[in-house]
Every structure is written in structure tokens, then in C-alpha cells.
Amino acid sequence: MTAFAVESSGLTKRFGRQVAVNAVDLAVPRGAVYGFLGPNGSGKTTTIRMLLGLIRPTTGGHALLGERMPGGAAAVLPRVGALVEGPGFHPYLSGMDNLRRLDAADRTASAATAEARIRAALDRVGLGAAAGKRFRAYSLGMRQRLALAGAMLAPRDLLILDEPTNGLDPQGTREVRALIGALAAEGATVLLSTHLLSEVEQVCSHVGVMHQGNLVAQSTLEELRAEAAPHAQVHTDRPADAARVLRELGLTEVTHDGAGATGLLGPVAPEKVVAALVHDGVPVRGFAVVAADLEEQFVALTGEGFDVSG
């Protein structure tokens, strides 16, 4: 048994001359809630489709729960629940009947327990009351919930969820995030693709950042936070002098503007900075130590903004 629930090496997909996914080495540890973060069009969904065997990698390979794919699909995919690029159901069947069909297609699922498992999955996503309604009458949020129920029809060791909170209202978003936490607490590994930074901050233990088909960062969330280097910010009416003092103290990347100066603290203690400023007679109107937040880090990694309202 390997330590990784998802492991890929050099996973690459080219569509014609366009490289959609470029040599991605994913490593999702067992038990992790892995935030697969990236702007729209960064190759997240293509990667997920490759992971699930829907499309063939141009080069590279991967394993799910220790089974090489796509050869091990029949053995491993029953233990993997998936939500890929939004819900997909027959519009003229009820939510319940749609799940019955999915369950009937699963050779490893027992017909005897089907009704109970379907009921439990529907209740878990809060769709119990709407189970008999036709799918076409569902709202976007209900459709998303039904897709999640489909991913939970059987006990899963790995859940691969592509943008699971898309289309949900704030209440639904909170419920789904709680659900993901509960699944992880039960021991499942969750790979969660999202373009919402707040989602990663709230539910994930690990994070991988995609940008233009490349995995530009991958670590635990804590490690990434630790990399966020603190800056010293001085408010003063003599910015140039303040900047000189900061440089003399050994701060790097020092800049100044009309309102003050800032610099990367590094190993220098903040109180030393204040003392040195006062000692040199630079009037200090305000002083702050500011750590870059995750959003700034991701913008630095990807050069693009994230929708953080989610």
C-alpha cells in the first residue's frame, strides 16, 4: 500500500499543438483533503479526466490508491467517487431513478442494498424530499447535490470532486464543505478542484496550484503559509531616510513612496527596526509587520487573480 491516494508522473495531455496539461506530478497523500487550485482553463478538469481514465494521457502515467491506471480501473474505480465538470443526469428521470441507474451500472454494487444506499446518499446531501422530482426540474444547486450523492453511493476511499460547490448558495456551500470535512474524517482522501481560494483555506490540508497546464506549487497548506514572508511597513513623512535605515539593517526588496517605506524583514526582528528608526531620528507615524496572504502568493504563482468571494 503506497502512501499516496493519487500519484502521477509526467502526466501530459496535448490536444493538437496545444498543451493542456504539462508534465504534472501530483502527489496526494492518503487521508489528505487536497485543494487542486487554479484559474479556469488551467488544466484542472483535463487532469481529472485523465486521472479517471476518461481521456488518455499523451505521455506520463498515474496510479489511484496504488493501482496503475487505466489498467486497474475495474478494480479501483468502484472505490473512487467522482464529480467531473458538473452534474450529468438524464433530464426526464427523477433524481432517485438517476441514482438507481448509476448503481445498476456498478458491477460491485449489491442490488439488495441499493435502495437503502441511494436513500442514505440523497439524505446526506439534503435531497431526500426532492428525490422523486424529475432532474430537469432541479435547480443548479440541487443538481450539484445529486452529483455529490452519486459520488457517495458506495463507501469510497477516494473522492475526486471537480468544483463541488459550483452553483450552490452560501448555505449549500457551507453544507457541502462540512460534508467534505465529514468524509475526510471518515478516512476518505479528497481531491477537490476549485478556483476558490477561500475553499482551499477552509477545508484543505494540502494544496496544488495549476497554472497554464503546469503544477506550479504543491505542498501542505501550512508549508505554503510559512513561506509567506513578512514585510515591515513604516509610515513616515521622510520615506527616503526610512528606506535607507531599512537597507542598513539588512532588509531586502526595500521600496519607498510618498507615505513611507517597506522591506522584506528576513531574520531581522521587527522591534530592532523601530529602535533603529527612532535612533536615526526618522519620525515613525506607524509601523506594521505584514505577511503576504495566500491570495497574494497565488497571484504571484499564477500571475492571475482568484475569485475569493466564494
Q: 137 to 156, contacts with other proteins by CB under 8 A?
A: 150
What's the min distance (Å) between Cβ of 200 and other proteins? Answer: 24
What's the min distance (Å) between Cβ of 291 and other proteins? Answer: 40
* Of 29, 61, 78, 128, the one binding other proteins by CB under 8 A: 78
Give 271's contacts (C-beta < 8 A, 6+ positions apart): none
Residue 110 binds other proteins, judged by CB under 8 A: yes
Residue 167 binds other proteins, judged by CB under 8 A: no
Nearer to other proteins, 104 or 229 (CB): 104
* Of 3, 40, 71, 75, the one binding other proteins by CB under 8 A: 75
Nearer to other proteins, 83 or 197 (CB): 83
Nearer to other proteins, 150 or 208 (CB): 150
Shortest CA distance to 89 belongs to which of 48, 130, 39, 40? 130
Per-residue three-class SS string for the chain: CCCEEEEEEEEEEEECCEEEEEEECCEEECCCEEEEECCCCCCHHHHHHHHCCCCCCCEEEEEECCEEECCCHHHHHHHEEEECCCCCCCCCCEHHHHHHHHHHHCCCCCHHHHHHHHHHHHHHCCCHHHCCCEHHHCCHHHHHHHHHHHHCCCCCCEEEEECCCCCCCHHHHHHHHHHHHHHHHCCCEEEEEECCHHHHHHHCCEEEEEECCEEEEEEEHHHHHHCCCEEEEEECCCHHHHHHHHHHHCCEEEEEECCEEEEECCCCCHHHHHHHHHHCCCCCCEEEEEECCHHHHHHHHHCCCCCCCC
Rounded Cα distance between 85 and 114, Å, is 25
Number of amino acids touching other proteins (CB under 8 A):
41
* Of 30, 60, 134, 157, the one binding other proteins by CB under 8 A: 157
* Of 3, 74, 269, 278, the one binding other proteins by CB under 8 A: 74
Listed ranges 27-35, 104-112, 174-182, 187-195: which one lies at the site for other proteins (CB under 8 A): 104-112
Residue 111 binds other proteins, judged by CB under 8 A: yes
Nearer to other proteins, 74 or 300 (CB): 74
* Of 72, 167, 181, 230, the one binding other proteins by CB under 8 A: 72
Nearer to other proteins, 86 or 230 (CB): 86
Rounded Cα distance between 32 and 190, Å, is 6
Residue 91 binds other proteins, judged by CB under 8 A: yes
What's the min distance (Å) between Cβ of 51 and other proteins? Answer: 10
Number of residues that this document lists for the chain: 310
Residue 106 binds other proteins, judged by CB under 8 A: yes
Nearer to other proteins, 81 or 263 (CB): 81
Nearer to other proteins, 164 or 260 (CB): 164
What's the min distance (Å) between Cβ of 155 and other proteins? Answer: 10
Listed ranges 26-34, 83-91, 253-261, 286-294: which one lies at the site for other proteins (CB under 8 A): 83-91
Any bridge partners for residue 192, and if so which?
A: 35, 161
Q: 7 to 66, contacts with other proteins by CB under 8 A?
A: 49, 52-56, 66
Give 140's contacts (C-beta < 8 A, 6+ positions apart): 166, 167, 168
> Which residues are near other proteins by CB under 8 A?
49, 52-56, 66-67, 72-80, 82, 84-93, 100-102, 104-111, 150, 157
